[in-house]
Amino acid sequence: MGSARRGGSVEDEVLVVGGGVSGLTTAVVLAEAGRPVRLVSDRAPGETTSAVAGGLWEPYLAEPRERVAEWAFRTLPTLVALAEHPAETGVRMVEGIKAQRTPEPVPPWWLPSLPGALRPLRAPELPPGFRSGYAATMPLLDMPHYLGYLTDRLRAAGGRIERRRLRSLDEATATARLVVNCTGLAARKLVPDLEVRPIQGQLVVVENPGLDRWLVAEPIEGEESLYLLPQPGGLLLGGTARRDRWGTEPDPELAARIVRRCARVFPELATARVLEHRVGLRPFRPRVRLAAEPTGDGRVTVHNYGHGGCGVTVSWGCAREAAGLLPR
C-alpha cells in the first residue's frame, strides 16, 4: 500500500512500539484491518516478558477490575477459536483446577462475567491438601510458540518489524503521526510514567512426570502462590509475585521453595529433572492505561500498557479498543 510522506513521516502509517504480546496483537489487529503498520522493538518477541509468562487465561494482577474483566472476556472467544489449531497457534483448551483451602469454594471476582465457566468440586476430586475448588477448561498458551504465530500473522498481513531501541516516546511521535505505545514496563522511562512498576515472577520448568491438567491454588494471606501448567516443553511450576523487584536472575532458594510447594501436592515432582528457570517482570500500574493522547500537529498516541499479570488474557480486547481510538 502506497503512502504519501509529509514532514519526514509516513502520513497514514501506524507505528506500534513494543514487541510483546500487547504490541504484536495490536499490530495484527491494525494490519488485518488494512492499515499500514510498523512495529518497533529493541527485542525479539522471544526475548520479551511475554515469552516467559505461564500462559493461562485468567484475569490476574491488573486494575481496574471492571475494565479488566471486559477486555478479558472480549479476548476469550478469540483464544478459544485459535485453540482449534493448536499446532499452528500454540493455543490449547486445557482442563484444570482452581484449588482452595477454605471449606467452601470462594468464587473468583470475575466469575459473574462468565457464568457456568467453573464447576464446583467435591472433596474426592481435589488434590491433597485442598478442601474446595472449581474445575474449568481454559485457554493455555505456549507463549514462545504463540508469539511466533503472531509475528508470522503480522508479516502475512503486510506489517513490518524493525529492531531498534528508542530513548523516549518522543522519538516515535517525531517520525509517525499515529503511534500506539505498548511498551509495558519500559513505559516507566519512555513516557515517562512512574506509576508503572514491576511485579517479579519466577517459574521453574521441569520434566513432566505425566500431569495433563493445570492447577492454580488460591493463596491464603501471606502465602506464596502455587500453580502447575503443563506445556509442550515441560511442566511450569510457580510461582511468585514480588512487587518492586527489578532483578531477572533466578533465585535458587526461591526456585527450591517453588518445587517443594508443588511436590507437597504431587510428590513425584520432588525428583523431576529441572529443565529451565524463568524470571519475568510483570508491568503493573494502578490502572491499565488505554487511552488516546493528542500530541500536537494532528498527531495522536494511543497508550496500551500496564496490564500486570494478564497481558495475554486481555490482549485482543485491549488491542481492538486501542485500534478503535486511532483516527483515520
pLDDT digits over 136-192, tens only?
A: 999 999 999 999 999 999 999 999 999 999 999 999 999 999 999 999 999 999 999
Q: How far apart are CA 39 and CA 16, in angstroms?
A: 5
Output the pLDDT for position 224: 77
Q: Strand runs (DSSP E) across the chain, as ranges?
A: 5-6, 9-17, 37-41, 91-100, 119-120, 132-141, 160-163, 176-181, 197-206, 214-217, 226-231, 234-238, 242-243, 274-296, 299-307
Q: How far apart are CA 311 and CA 280, in angstroms?
A: 12
Please name which of 20, 312, 281 lies closest in space to residue 141, comparing C-alpha atoms.
312
Confidence class for position 222, pLDDT limits 50, 70, 90: low
Output the pLDDT for position 4: 33
Q: Are 289 and 305 in contact (CB under 8 A)?
A: yes
Mean pLDDT of 119-137: 92
Output the pLDDT for position 6: 34
Output the pLDDT for position 266: 96
Output the pLDDT for position 285: 97
What DSSP designation does 183 have? -
What DSSP designation does 195 have? T
Query: What is the number of alpha carbons within 13 Å of residue 248 lying toward its C-beta?
Result: 8
Output the pLDDT for position 2: 34
Burial class, 42, CB count within 10 angstroms (exposed 0-12 / middle 13-18 / buried 19+): middle
- pLDDT tens, residue by residue, 18-50: 999 999 999 999 999 999 999 999 999 999 999
Q: How far apart are CA 160 and CA 10, in angstroms?
A: 13
Output the pLDDT for position 303: 98
Buried b (16+ CB within 10 A) or exposed e, 271-299: ebeeeebbbbbbbbbeebbbebbebeeeb
Domains in the chain: boundaries: 5-324
The cell numbers describing 187, all together, are 513505559
5-324 falls under which CATH superfamily?
NAD(P)-binding Rossmann-like Domain (3.40.50.720)
Output the pLDDT for position 32: 98
Output the pLDDT for position 114: 73
Output the pLDDT for position 236: 98
Confidence class for position 262, pLDDT limits 50, 70, 90: very high
pTM of the model: 0.94
pLDDT tops 50 at residue 217: yes
Output the pLDDT for position 221: 56
